[in-house]
Structure 1
Amino acid sequence: MIEDDGGQLALLKTKVRKTRPVAPSRPAPERPIAKVVVDTPLAHLDRTFDYVVPEKFHDDCQPGTRVRVRFAGQDLDGFVLDRVDETDHQGKLLPIKRLVSAEQVLAPEIAKLARAVADRYAGTLPDVLRLAVPPRHARVEAEERQERQEHQQERPAPGPWAAYETGPRYLDALARGETPRAVWTALPGEDWPRCLAKAAAATLAKGRGVLLIVPDHRDAARLDEACKEELGEGQHVLLSAEVGPAMRYRRFLAVRRGDVRCVIGTRAAAFAPVRDLGLVGVWDDGDDLHAEPRAPYPHVREVLLLRAHLENTAAIIGGFAVTAEGAQLVETGWARPLAAARDVVRRRVPRVVVTDDADLARDPAAKAVRIPHRAFEIARDALTKGPVLIQVPRAGYLPALACQDCRHPARCTHCHGPLQRGAPGSPPACGWCGRAAVGWECPNCGGRTLRAPVVGARRTAEELGRAFPRFPVKTSGGDKVLMKVSNEPALVVATPGAEPVATDGGYAAALLLDTWLFLARADLRAGEEALRRWFAAAALVRPGDQGGSVIVVGDPAGTALQALVRWSPDGYASRELGERQHAGFPPAVRLATVEGPSDVVQDLVDLAQLPPTASVLGPVPVESADDEEVFRTVIRVPRAQGGALSAALKGAQGVRSARKSPGNARVRIDPLALA
Structure 2
Amino acid sequence: MSRDNGGPEDRGEQSQQPEQAEQLALIRETVRERKARPPRAKPRTWRGAELATRLPVARVLVDKGLVHLDRFFDYAVPAAMDEEAQPGVRVRVRFGAGEREGRREGGGLINGFIVERRADSDFTGRLAPLAQVLSPEPVLTPELLQLCRSVADRYAGSLADVVQLAVPPRRARAEKQTSPRRPPRPRAPEPGGWSRYPQGPAFLQALTDKSAPRAVWTALPGPRDWADELARAMATTLASGRGALAVLPDGKSAARVDAALTALVGEGQHVLLTADAGPEPRYRRWLAVSRGAVRAVVGTRAAMFAPVRRLGLAAIWEDGDSGHSEERAPQPHAREVLLQRAVTEGAAFLLGAHGCTVEAAQLVESGFARPLAADRDTVRAVMPRVRTAGEGDEGRDPAARSARLPSLAWRTARDALEHGPVLVQVPRRGYVPRLVCERCREPARCAHCSGPLEASGEGTALRCGWCARETPQWRCPMCAGTRLRGSVIGARRTAEELGRAFPSVPVRTSGGEHVLESVPARPALVVATPGAEPVPEGEDGYAAALLLDGWALLGRPDLRAGEEALRRWLGAASLVRPQGEGGSVVLVAEESMRPVQALVRWDPAGHALRELADRAELGFPPVSRMAAVTGPPEAVAALLDSARESGLPEGAQVLGPVPLPAPASGRPRRPGDPPPGQLWERALVRVPQGSGATLAASLKTALAGRLARREGAVPHVRVDPVDIG
Settle same-fold status: TM greater than 0.5.
yes
Q: CA deviation at 1:470?
A: 2.6
Q: CA deviation at 1:515?
A: 0.2
Counterpart residue type for residue 641 of structure 2: D
* SS in structure 1 of the partner of residue 355 of structure 2: coil
Q: CA deviation at 1:99?
A: 0.9
- Matches for 1:233-252 after TM superposition, within 5 Å: 233-252=267-286
Q: Which moved more, 1:212-221 or 1:188-197?
A: 188-197
CA distance in 1: counterparts of 2:376 and 2:335, whole angstroms:
27
CA distance in 2: counterparts of 1:630 and 1:415, whole angstroms:
19
Q: In the alignment, which of 286, 298, 301 is matched to residue 335 of structure 2?
A: 301
Q: Which moved more, 1:353-362 or 1:126-135?
A: 353-362
CA distance in 1: counterparts of 2:89 and 2:82, whole angstroms:
12
In structure 1, the residue matched to 2:658 is: 620
CA distance in 1: counterparts of 2:287 and 2:407, whole angstroms:
58
Counterpart residue type for residue 270 of structure 2: H
1:435 maps to 2:469: yes
* SS in structure 1 of the partner of residue 690 of structure 2: helix
CA distance in 2: counterparts of 1:347 and 1:233, whole angstroms:
35
Q: In the alignment, which of 343, 353, 361 is matched to residue 319 of structure 1?
A: 353
CA distance in 1: counterparts of 2:467 and 2:279, whole angstroms:
31
In structure 1, the residue matched to 2:719 is: 669
Q: CA deviation at 1:374?
A: 2.2
CA distance in 1: counterparts of 2:715 and 2:59, whole angstroms:
30
1:593 maps to 2:628: yes
In structure 1, the residue matched to 2:551 is: 516
Taking a change above 3 Å as real, the CA distance of residues 364 and 458 of structure 1, as seen in their structure-2 partners, is: farther
Q: CA deviation at 1:412?
A: 3.0
Q: In the alignment, which of 164, 174, 193 is matched to residue 140 of structure 1?
A: 174
In structure 2, the residue matched to 1:256 is: 290
Q: CA deviation at 1:149?
A: 4.1
1:203 maps to 2:241: no
1:507 maps to 2:542: yes
Counterpart residue type for residue 653 of structure 2: S
Q: CA deviation at 1:415?
A: 4.3
1:129 maps to 2:163: yes
- Matches for 1:270-309 after TM superposition, within 5 Å: 270-309=304-343
In structure 2, the residue matched to 1:9 is: none
Q: CA deviation at 1:534?
A: 0.4
* SS in structure 2 of the partner of residue 169 of structure 1: helix
Q: In the alignment, which of 60, 69, 74 is matched to residue 84 of structure 2?
A: 60
* SS in structure 1 of the partner of residue 700 of structure 2: helix
Q: CA deviation at 1:330?
A: 0.6
**1:361–1:367 Cα contact (<8 Å) kept:** no
Q: In the alignment, which of 577, 580, 584 is matched to residue 612 of structure 2?
A: 577
- Matches for 1:116-515 after TM superposition, within 5 Å: 116-143=150-177, 145-189=178-222, 191-356=225-390, 359=394, 362=397, 370-445=404-479, 447-503=481-537, 504-515=539-550
Taking a change above 3 Å as real, the CA distance of residues 353 and 78 of structure 1, as seen in their structure-2 partners, is: same
**2:47–2:129 Cα contact (<8 Å) kept:** no
**2:389–2:401 Cα contact (<8 Å) kept:** no
In structure 1, the residue matched to 2:666 is: none
CA distance in 2: counterparts of 1:448 and 1:81, whole angstroms:
67
Q: Deviations over 1:647-666 (max 9, x none)?
A: 00000000001101211211
Q: Deviations over 1:277-330 (max 9, x none)?
A: 111111000001111111111111011111111111111000000000000001
* SS in structure 2 of the partner of residue 613 of structure 1: coil
CA distance in 2: counterparts of 1:339 and 1:44, whole angstroms:
47
1:647 maps to 2:697: yes
Q: CA deviation at 1:449?
A: 3.6
Q: Which moved more, 1:63-72 or 1:437-446?
A: 437-446
**2:194–2:201 Cα contact (<8 Å) kept:** yes
CA distance in 2: counterparts of 1:57 and 1:589, whole angstroms:
50
In structure 2, the residue matched to 1:8 is: none
CA distance in 1: counterparts of 2:679 and 2:286, whole angstroms:
42
**1:185–1:319 Cα contact (<8 Å) kept:** yes
Q: CA deviation at 1:364?
A: 7.7
* SS in structure 1 of the partner of residue 470 of structure 2: coil
- Matches for 1:548-559 after TM superposition, within 5 Å: 548-559=583-594
Q: CA deviation at 1:413?
A: 3.8
In structure 2, the residue matched to 1:5 is: none
Taking a change above 3 Å as real, the CA distance of residues 620 and 241 of structure 1, as seen in their structure-2 partners, is: same
1:114 maps to 2:155: no
Taking a change above 3 Å as real, the CA distance of residues 603 and 22 of structure 1, as seen in their structure-2 partners, is: closer
**1:595–1:601 Cα contact (<8 Å) kept:** yes
Q: Give % identity.
A: 53
CA distance in 2: counterparts of 1:64 and 1:48, whole angstroms:
13
Q: Deviations over 1:473-528 (max 9, x none)?
A: 11111222111122211111111111111232111111111100000100110000
Q: CA deviation at 1:639?
A: 1.2
Taking a change above 3 Å as real, the CA distance of residues 320 and 23 of structure 1, as seen in their structure-2 partners, is: closer
Taking a change above 3 Å as real, the CA distance of residues 383 and 363 of structure 1, as seen in their structure-2 partners, is: farther
CA distance in 2: counterparts of 1:196 and 1:106, whole angstroms:
29
**1:197–1:231 Cα contact (<8 Å) kept:** no
1:46 maps to 2:70: yes
In structure 2, the residue matched to 1:7 is: none
CA distance in 1: counterparts of 2:493 and 2:47, whole angstroms:
75
* Residue-pair matches, total: 661
Taking a change above 3 Å as real, the CA distance of residues 674 and 488 of structure 1, as seen in their structure-2 partners, is: same
CA distance in 2: counterparts of 1:373 and 1:405, whole angstroms:
24
* SS in structure 2 of the partner of residue 640 of structure 1: coil
Counterpart residue type for residue 602 of structure 2: W
Taking a change above 3 Å as real, the CA distance of residues 569 and 589 of structure 1, as seen in their structure-2 partners, is: same
* SS in structure 1 of the partner of residue 684 of structure 2: strand
**1:360–1:371 Cα contact (<8 Å) kept:** no
* SS in structure 1 of the partner of residue 424 of structure 2: strand
Q: CA deviation at 1:156?
A: 1.4
In structure 1, the residue matched to 2:20 is: none
Q: CA deviation at 1:465?
A: 1.6
**2:62–2:112 Cα contact (<8 Å) kept:** yes
Q: In the alignment, which of 538, 552, 573 is matched to residue 573 of structure 2?
A: 538
Q: Deviations over 1:104-162 (max 9, x none)?
A: 1112111111111111011111111111111111122123x043143221111101100
Q: Which moved more, 1:55-64 or 1:440-449?
A: 440-449
Taking a change above 3 Å as real, the CA distance of residues 22 and 273 of structure 1, as seen in their structure-2 partners, is: closer
* SS in structure 1 of the partner of residue 636 of structure 2: helix
Q: CA deviation at 1:442?
A: 4.0
**1:360–1:372 Cα contact (<8 Å) kept:** no
In structure 2, the residue matched to 1:611 is: 649
**1:483–1:501 Cα contact (<8 Å) kept:** yes
Taking a change above 3 Å as real, the CA distance of residues 351 and 598 of structure 1, as seen in their structure-2 partners, is: same
In structure 1, the residue matched to 2:561 is: 526
**2:92–2:133 Cα contact (<8 Å) kept:** yes
Q: Which moved more, 1:28-37 or 1:438-447?
A: 438-447
CA distance in 2: counterparts of 1:365 and 1:359, whole angstroms:
5
In structure 1, the residue matched to 2:99 is: none
Q: CA deviation at 1:23?
A: 5.9
* SS in structure 2 of the partner of residue 664 of structure 1: coil
